[in-house]
Amino acid sequence: MAAGVATWLPFARAAAVGWLPLAQQPLPPAPEVKASRGDEVLVVNVSGRRFETWKNTLDRYPDTLLGSSEKEFFYDAESGEYFFDRDPDMFRHVLNFYRTGRLHCPRQECIQAFDEELAFYGLVPELVGDCCLEEYRDRKKENAERLAEDEEAEQAGEGPALPAGSSLRQRLWRAFENPHTSTAALVFYYVTGFFIAVSVIANVVETIPCRSSARRPTREQPCGDRFPMAFFCMDTACVLIFTGEYLLRLFAAPSRCRFLRSVMSLIDVVAILPYYIGLFVPKNDDVSGAFVTLRVFRVFRIFKFSRHSQGLRILGYTLKSCASELGFLLFSLTMAIIIFATVMFYAEKGTSKTNFTSIPAAFWYTIVTMTTLGYGDMVPSTIAGKIFGSICSLSGVLVIALPVPVIVSNFSRIYHQNQRADKRRAQQKVRLARIRLAKSGTTNAFLQYKQNGGLEDSGSGEGQALCVRSRSAFEQQHHHLLHCLEKTTCHEFTDELTFSEALGAVSLGGRTSRSTSVSSQPMGPGSLLSSCCPRRAKRRAIRLANSTASVSRGSMQELDTLAGLRRSPAPQSRSSLNAKPHDSLDLNCDSPDFVAAIISIPTPPVNTPDESQPSSPGGGGSGGRSNTTLRNSSLGTPCLLPETVKISSL
Amino acid sequence: MGAVMGTFSSLQTKQRRPSKDIAWWYYQYQRDKIEDELEMTMVCHRPEGLEQLEAQTNFTKRELQVLYRGFKNECPSGVVNEETFKQIYAQFFPHGDASTYAHYLFNAFDTTQTGSVKFEDFVSALSILLRGTVHEKLRWTFNLYDINKDGYINKEEMMDIVKAIYDMMGKYTYPVLKEDTPRQHVDVFFQKMDKNKDGIVTLDEFLESCQEDDNIMKSLQLFQNVM
């Protein structure tokens, strides 16, 4: 519950006096409040620093360590104070949470230490107030990422230990991915690196003009033409090695499709394919042009270095992630270029022998001028052209230099804002889920308590004590208030499942498919008033016809509570959730209304909207816990322990 | 071009620091403006002295202290408004819609019809409810039901109140809430309370009928130990 609700409870209970004349049934007696010591000042000693606060302040949050009876474990009777051997600086924030209802995050403390303190005092991290929430999450994420990176680096360094009976394939793949693991892999790694370098250098050197022999001093040939055989052999050797490596990787890859689609393998293919294409292309002059073009692709072999270099990979990743910004930059530049090129073209149109033959031809001039390169191969000759040319070069500085930082920072800001909006939306969902969980938490606690027989007037204390889990004074009083409302209106709180079944039963005239033994009478308006608030015992005497394994969480609670009933005829029936035919004969026939309610459990698990937030972090834990423990209990534990169903409420 | 790329890359690394650009300044300015306006309208009310309150109500000094501490913590400005009532009730009755009932309750607390409940009003109402005589409690309840404060309860007012109470139950009730359940409830109530069957319940009729009903008398003692 949110802050301060505990403060208002006495007021809400007092206002319940207003329901009295309307109530058609007598209201239930109030719970006995243990002789409270009044409001007193508690001393909390945290590692020597004394904090004093009212007991009421700590009682505001009964789900935490300090608000519950758990703090009694730390009570030192001699000194009359509660001693905690924890960090006093952090405790200040914890105590302020009780006082103000907002949990703030200390800026100068390590976020991990803060988390640990919160866990110790029973505060969930979601309680961090809005003012500090974003920073808290950011720091936490940063921390987590850093730790993950360190772990990864460690792992990558040592390499995971291979299971003993690993196949050749697995060993090979591991050798490829982590070359440091074995000497052979390392050798292979360096050899391929060497050959990549050789191939690239050969490509480069091939084009250098070699001084030809003394015979023809004037004609210079590129080395590639001078020593064609040597270069061809070197190329062949490199390609053979690359092909071999590629095929080996393909063989060793755990998922061949994924490997084929990966970037590195595409680079490999592009690196070696031109060679093979070149082999099969006949050496005519028609296609030799295309063949020459193919040789250009050999330069892509240099990208194979990215397997060897972390930096290249990072660069590639950065470019990929900035794609949208670069696109926009390009677009704005294109606009400026087109404008100026058009202007220059029309300005220079009249001149004869002009370079500005068309607008696309003027693009080159515009680009060169705007980027302040100024090659000088195209210059305007008319006055208008010169004027516009100077405007172009001046604006080039502005158009390129100014928007780029603004665009960059703009997109950086928008990008972060979007991230923040998404984060906020996600947090909103979590917050709503939290609220819903708190709501359902109180509902469930109340329903749970009801069905556990806690509200029986004629109390038999022993039976009660076993299966009614102990509640705080706040909960007791709150449940009493809800019970008063029930009595006033002669209707009871239920969960959605029971409600929908009851609705279905009403429409079907009181028969359900699964009920085998109970009498079915249609629920008419007359019976509604007369059998208002049927005595709970009759309702509970229903046993299930069949209980199957697939039950929803909501109905699990029903099962659980039904199993743990006080008035069960035989002790062993508590453990079994299956119906015993003879039990149902105990029903009194003048209780028609509850016929349909609880029988048909095996409906598909449609949880209430309140309860169906297992995805929320807070609810998931408790929900999952209750689910599994209840499943276990259905196997026949003698009595349901109260702590198996613990609905966490904030 | 190199300089441009340089700025490009350097700006990329500055992503973490907040960018103080025009939009941010404008937002701050607006927020400050709103805060200034708020300050002018925020009231800060201080209650009368402790002794006076002790004389006027049936609470002891310690109880008043506890009450005020809680009250002040929740409402530092010293007054409760209707919104707070609605929120409180929404938290206590999360299944249904408690806003209508909270509205009527607020009107019952706000005896001077100022739109806000000060600590004195709060404490005097609590004093009646928890420590008052049977007469006083019943009169307070009559006042709650009498929405327009004309001294009479008619069927429409009762319908509103009963409907508001049923709204608090929410949708998922057992047995299923029918459309005419509130109406029936009101009819039963009027049958009991309206002695001369004129369709209106006066204060005397109300007091008389309630005192005849044992259930009500017994239940009135329930809330003695709430504080």
- In DSSP notation, A164-223 reads TT--HHHHHHHHHH-GGGSHHHHHHHHHHHHHHHHHHHHHHHHTSEEP--TT-SS--EEH
Element (H, E) at A242: helix A228-252
Beta carbons of B91 and A491 less than 8 Å apart: no
Each residue's pLDDT tens digit, A526-560: 333 444 444 444 444 444 334 333 333 333 343 33
Specify the DSSP class assigned to residue A298. Answer: G
Beta carbons of B215 and A25 less than 8 Å apart: yes
**CA–centroid distance for A319 within its chain:** 26
Within 8 A of B177 by CB-CB distance, chain A residues are 491
Q: Please state which of the ranges A21-25, A273-277, A415-419, A520-524 shows the lowest mean pLDDT.
A: A520-524
Strands B152-154 and B200-202 turn out to be antiparallel
DSSP string, A419-438: HHHHHHHHHHHHHHHHHHHH
Per-residue pLDDT, A518: 39
Per-residue pLDDT, B61: 85
Cα gap B74→B71, rounded to integer Å: 5
Searching chain B, which residue's CA lies closest to the CA of residue A536? Answer: B174
Instruction: Kindly state the average pLDDT of the residues A20-38.
Output: 73
Max CA distance (Å), chain B: 98
Residue of A273 and A420 predicted with greater confidence = A273
Specify the DSSP class assigned to residue A112. Answer: H
Q: Is the ipTM of this complex over 0.95?
A: no
The answer, for A56 touching chain B at a CB cutoff of 8 Å, is yes
Round the CA-based radius of gyration of chain A to a whole number and report it: 40
Q: Residue A648 in contact with residue A61, Cβ under 8 Å? A: no
Nearest to A12 among B88, B189, B220 (CB): B88
Within 8 A of A23 by CB-CB distance, chain B residues are 215-216, 219
Instruction: Kindly state the average pLDDT of the residues B160-187.
Output: 86
Beta carbons of A405 and B7 less than 8 Å apart: yes
In the structure encoding, which two tokens stand for residue A156, read together? 């990558």
**CA–centroid distance for A536 within its chain:** 44
Cα gap A223→B196, rounded to integer Å: 123
Q: What is the value of pTM for the model shown?
A: 0.47
Chain A stretch 387-416, residues whose beta carbon is closer than 8 A to a beta carbon of chain B: 400-401, 404-405, 408-409, 412-413, 416
Nearest to B11 among A409, A440, A477 (CB): A409
Element (H, E) at A76: strand A75-76
Say how many C-beta atoms besides its own lie within 10 A of residue A626's C-beta: 20
CB–CB contacts below 8 A, A to B: 194
Beta carbons of A11 and B126 less than 8 Å apart: yes
Say how many C-beta atoms besides its own lie within 10 A of residue A273's C-beta: 16
Angle between helices B155-169 and B99-109 (to 10 degrees): 130
The answer, for A116 touching chain B at a CB cutoff of 8 Å, is no
Per-residue pLDDT, A526: 38
Within 8 A of A413 by CB-CB distance, chain B residues are 19, 21
Chain A stretch 433-452, residues whose beta carbon is closer than 8 A to a beta carbon of chain B: 438-440, 442-443
Q: Please state which of the ranges A499-513, A606-620, B14-28 shows the lowest mean pLDDT.
A: A606-620
Q: Residue A369 in contact with residue A393, Cβ under 8 Å? A: yes
Round the CA-based radius of gyration of chain B to a whole number and report it: 26
> Is pLDDT of A257 > 80?
yes
Q: Residue A506 in contact with residue A500, Cβ under 8 Å? A: no
Nearest to B137 among A12, A17, A442 (CB): A17
Please report which confidence band the pLDDT of residue A369 belongs to, taking 50, 70 and 90 as the band edges.
very high
| Of A67, A252, A268, nearest in space to A178 by CA | A252
> Is pLDDT of A342 > 90?
yes
Per-residue pLDDT, A52: 92
Beta carbons of A14 and B226 less than 8 Å apart: yes
Each residue's pLDDT tens digit, A468-492: 456 677 788 888 888 888 888 888 8
Chosen for mutation from B122, B128, B219 (greatest number of chain A CBs closer than 10 Å) is B219
Please report which confidence band the pLDDT of residue A456 belongs to, taking 50, 70 and 90 as the band edges.
low
Searching chain B, which residue's CA lies closest to the CA of residue A534? Answer: B175
Please identify which residue in the block is written with the tokens 């969480």: A553
Beta carbons of B172 and A15 less than 8 Å apart: no
State the burial class of residue A332 (Cβ atoms within 10 Å of its Cβ: 0-12, 13-18, 19+).
middle
In the structure encoding, which two tokens stand for residue A304, read together? 């194979």
Phi, psi of A54 (to 5 degrees): -70, 150
SS (H, E, C) A86-110: CCHHHHHHHHHHHHHCCECCCCCCC
Per-residue pLDDT, B77: 80
Within 8 A of B172 by CB-CB distance, chain A residues are 493-496, 498-499, 608
Beta carbons of B122 and A491 less than 8 Å apart: no
The answer, for A206 touching chain B at a CB cutoff of 8 Å, is no
What are residue A53's DSSP bridge partners?
A42
Residue of A355 and A579 predicted with greater confidence = A355
Please report which confidence band the pLDDT of residue B32 belongs to, taking 50, 70 and 90 as the band edges.
low
Helices (H), chain B: 2-13, 22-41, 50-56, 61-74, 82-92, 99-109, 119-131, 134-145, 155-169, 181-193, 203-212, 214-220
Instruction: Kindly state the average pLDDT of the residues B116-125.
Output: 88
Per-residue pLDDT, B44: 67
| Of B152, B158, B150, nearest in space to B191 by CA | B158
Within 8 A of B64 by CB-CB distance, chain A residues are none
